[in-house]
């Protein structure tokens, strides 16, 4: 194409020069003849330029270019071809975008795209029903202004999206939504939102069922245990054949009561996301009283129980919940450590938060059991549990209480050497001084 342009340009200029030369020969005024020739050529070129400008500035891309001669004809045609190619490419891209939009609009799940700062960029129709986003008013607004649940704010600020988040929908409290966030591109976020109301109801029914059954069983069991106690208080009146049976009944009754209490406590912990109390708890004093109870539980077994607690580090939360979590860890250490063993309780704070560790020189746990230890009723071996009278719910309670107090449980153990259970609490939960 370039070659043609050059050729045409040279041809035009040669033609013009020859014409001017002939006119100059006839008239004898070479200077004027060339001046008039060049002026005419310039005027013609300007006219072509104006036609090009007029054609480009009109908005309809379908209008063919004006007719042009020589070099200008080539320029008009090339621009027209470029425009057509660009238009076809744009049409193809638009078709892809339309298909994506139509398919995401048909989705029941909401899809929301957020920019680097968490501002809304794009969303599908389901996002309007599940999150109450309004098109186009909400575009560019921060997502945290529209989904105002405190847990969402925490979740988004922490930028740890390994687990999905379940919260009530901002539009309707009866709707439960689950949010999955993923980072992509230049730290932008893609958010998927699912309606999990049905699953949530089923889960709620399961929790209510367990709580109700535990509650209903408590009264008859208290009556049975009460009568057993009265009978055993008058053991001398009993036929010796029945004595052992009654003692075993009382022991198992006690276990059932502990089990029901733990189940009810777990149901209570699951009912809300955060503890109702949020006052700073003096953990050092709490641990001192737990240590005394542990000493009593240890009895004549000669275990050495030590406590080192930083008195200046307190923890926001519910004292009752923390007591049950910490005492579960300490009492487990007593239960699973042989006579003359050592149990070390430590509480300290640092720049990352506060930490409690309960270390024992007990029987330890094999590494394969560690990931499942906080599951309900998970036991390393069932004979161990019946020896110690455990319910299998202790560590599940610990995990729940820690979750509610921005904490995490870390377990390390060597079989036969001992175990260390460490609770790490985030800085937000710690009060110093």
Contact 131, 112 (CB under 8 A): yes
391 binds ligand ADP (CB under 6 A): yes
**Residue 349 is a binding residue for ligand ADP (CB under 6 A):** no
Q: What angle do CA 185, 191, 192 make, to 5 degrees?
A: 130
Number of neighbours of residue 274 by Cβ within 10 angstroms = 14
Nearest to 362 by CA among 398, 387, 391: 387
Residue 390 near ligand ADP by CB under 6 A = yes
Number of residues engaging ligand ADP in binding (CB under 6 A):
21
Q: For 390, which DSSP code?
A: -
**384 is a contact residue toward ligand ADP (CB under 6 A):** yes
For ligand ADP, give the closer residue by CB, 127 or 333. 333
Write down the residue that tokens 């245990």 correspond to. Answer: 225
**Judged by CB under 6 A, which stretch of 69-77, 244-252, 276-284, 363-371 contacts ligand ADP?**
363-371
* Residue 298 within binding range of ligand ADP, rule CB under 6 A: no
In our burial notation (b when 16+ CB lie closer than 10 A, e otherwise), range 25-45 reads: eeeeeeeebbeebeeeeeeee
User: Of 50-58, 171-179, 242-250, 357-365, which segment contacts ligand ADP by CB under 6 A?
Assistant: 357-365
Where does this chain touch ligand ADP (CB under 6 A) — which range of 3-11, 37-45, 275-283, 377-385? Answer: 377-385
Shortest distance (Å) from residue 157 CB to ligand ADP: 32
Specify the DSSP element, H or E, that contains 181.
strand 176-184
Q: Is 263 in the site for ligand ADP (CB under 6 A)?
A: no
Could you say which of 143, 181, 283, 333 contacts ligand ADP (CB under 6 A)?
A: 333
Binding mask of the shown chain, residues 33 to 62, with x at each position contacting ligand ADP by CB under 6 A: ------------------------------
Regarding 110 and contact with ligand ADP (CB under 6 A), the answer is: no
Q: Which residue of 169, 303, 318, 332 would you call a contact of ligand ADP, by CB under 6 A?
A: 332
User: What is the nearest approach in angstroms of ligand ADP to the Cβ of residue 205?
Assistant: 25
Residue 373 binds ligand ADP, judged by CB under 6 A: yes
CA dihedral 99, 101, 103, 108 (to 10 degrees): 180
Q: What is the DSSP letter of 135?
A: T
Determine if 361 is a binding residue for ligand ADP (CB under 6 A): no
Are 398 and 328 a contacting pair, CB within 8 Å?
yes
Determine, following the binding rule CB under 6 A, whether residue 362 of this chain makes contact with ligand ADP: yes
317 binds ligand ADP (CB under 6 A): no
Report the Cα–Cα distance between both ends of the chain, in Å, rounded.
83
Q: Which stretch binds ligand ADP (CB under 6 A): 3-11, 286-294, 301-309, 387-395?
A: 387-395
Q: Could you tell me where the beta strands, DSSP code E, fall in 323-399?
A: 342-350, 353-360
Q: Are 430 and 278 in contact (CB under 8 A)?
A: no
Q: Which residue, 156 or 326, is less far from ligand ADP as judged by CB?
A: 326
State yes or no: residue 357 binds ligand ADP (CB under 6 A).
no
Q: Judged by CB, which is closer to ligand ADP: 124, or 328?
A: 328
Q: What is the DSSP letter of 336?
A: T
- For residues 403 to 432, the per-residue mask of contacts with ligand ADP, x marking binding by CB under 6 A and - elsewhere, is ----------------x-------------
Smallest distance, ligand ADP to C-beta of residue 285, A: 23
- Residue 384 CB, shortest distance to ligand ADP, in Å, is 5
* 395 touching ligand ADP, by CB under 6 A: yes
Distances (CA, A) of 313 to 151, 283, 285: 25, 7, 11
User: Of the candidates 309, 313, 363, 402, which one interacts with ligand ADP according to CB under 6 A?
Assistant: 363
Provide the 8-state DSSP code for 429: G
Cβ nearer to ligand ADP, comparing 228 with 266:
266
Q: Which is nearer to ligand ADP, 179 or 345 (CB)?
A: 345
In this structure, are residues 418 and 343 in contact, taking their beta carbons and an 8 Å threshold?
no
When asked if residue 341 is in the footprint of ligand ADP (CB under 6 A), the reply is no
Query: Can residue 138 be called a binding residue for ligand ADP (CB under 6 A)?
Result: no
Nearest distance, CB of residue 321 and ligand ADP, angstroms: 16
Q: Mapping DSSP to helix (H, G, I), strand (E, B) and coil, where does residue 117 land?
A: coil
For 42-99, the DSSP string reads: HHHHHHHHHHHHHHHHSS-TTSPPPP--HHHHHHHHHHHHHHHHHHHHHHHHHHHHHH
Q: Which of 102, 104, 131, 118 is nearest to 195 (CA)?
A: 131
* Sequence-distant contacts of 187-191: CB under 8 A, at least 24 apart: 187/116, 188/113, 188/114, 188/115, 188/116, 188/121, 189/113, 189/114, 189/115, 189/118, 190/111, 190/112, 190/113, 190/114, 191/110, 191/111, 191/112, 191/113, 191/114, 191/143
User: Minimum distance from CB of 389 to ligand ADP (Å)?
Assistant: 8
Site of interaction with ligand ADP (CB under 6 A): 328, 332-333, 336, 360, 362-365, 373, 379-380, 384-385, 390-395, 419
């Amino acid at each position: 194409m370039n070659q043609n342009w050059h050729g045409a340009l040279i041809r035009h200029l040669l033609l013009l020069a020859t014409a001017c030369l002939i006119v100059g020969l006839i008239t004898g005024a070479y200077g004027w003849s060339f001046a008039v020739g060049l002026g005419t050529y310039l005027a013609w070129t300007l006219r072509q330029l104006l036609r090009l400008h007029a054609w480009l500035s009109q908005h309809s891309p379908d209008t063919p270019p004006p007719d042009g001669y020589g070099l200008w004809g080539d320029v008009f045609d090339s621009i027209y071809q470029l425009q057509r190619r660009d238009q076809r490419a744009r049409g193809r891209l638009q078709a892809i975008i339309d298909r994506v939009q139509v398919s995401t609009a048909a989705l029941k799940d909401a899809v929301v795209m957020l920019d680097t700062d968490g501002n809304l960029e794009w969303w599908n129709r389901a996002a309007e029903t599940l999150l109450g986003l309004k098109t186009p008013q909400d575009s560019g607004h921060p997502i945290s202004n529209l989904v105002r649940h405190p847990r969402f704010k925490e979740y988004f600020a922490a930028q740890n999206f390994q687990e999905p988040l379940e919260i009530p929908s901002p539009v309707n409290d009866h709707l439960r939504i689950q949010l999955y966030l993923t980072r992509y591109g230049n730290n932008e976020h893609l958010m998927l939102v699912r309606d999990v109301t049905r699953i949530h109801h089923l889960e709620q029914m399961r929790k209510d069922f367990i709580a109700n059954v535990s509650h209903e069983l408590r009264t008859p069991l208290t009556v049975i245990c009460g009568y057993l106690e009265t009978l055993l208080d008058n053991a001398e009146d009993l036929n010796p054949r029945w004595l052992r049976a009654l003692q075993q009944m009382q022991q198992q009754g006690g276990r059932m009561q502990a089990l029901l209490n733990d189940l009810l406590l777990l149901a209570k912990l699951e009912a809300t996301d955060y503890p109702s109390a949020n006052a700073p708890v003096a953990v050092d004093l709490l641990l001192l009283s737990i240590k005394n109870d542990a000493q009593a539980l240890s009895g004549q077994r000669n275990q050495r129980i030590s406590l080192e607690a930083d008195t200046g580090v307190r923890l926001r939360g519910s004292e009752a919940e923390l007591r049950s979590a910490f005492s579960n860890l300490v009492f487990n250490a007593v239960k699973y450590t042989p006579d003359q063993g050592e149990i070390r309780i430590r509480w300290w704070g640092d720049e990352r938060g506060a930490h409690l560790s309960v270390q024992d020189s007990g029987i330890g746990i094999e590494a394969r059991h560690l990931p499942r230890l906080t599951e309900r009723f998970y036991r390393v071996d069932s004979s161990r549990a019946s020896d110690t009278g455990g319910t299998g719910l202790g560590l599940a309670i610990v995990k729940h209480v820690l979750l509610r107090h921005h904490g995490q449980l870390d377990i390390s153990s060597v079989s036969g050497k001992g175990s260390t259970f460490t609770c790490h609490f985030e800085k937000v939960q710690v009060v110093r001084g």
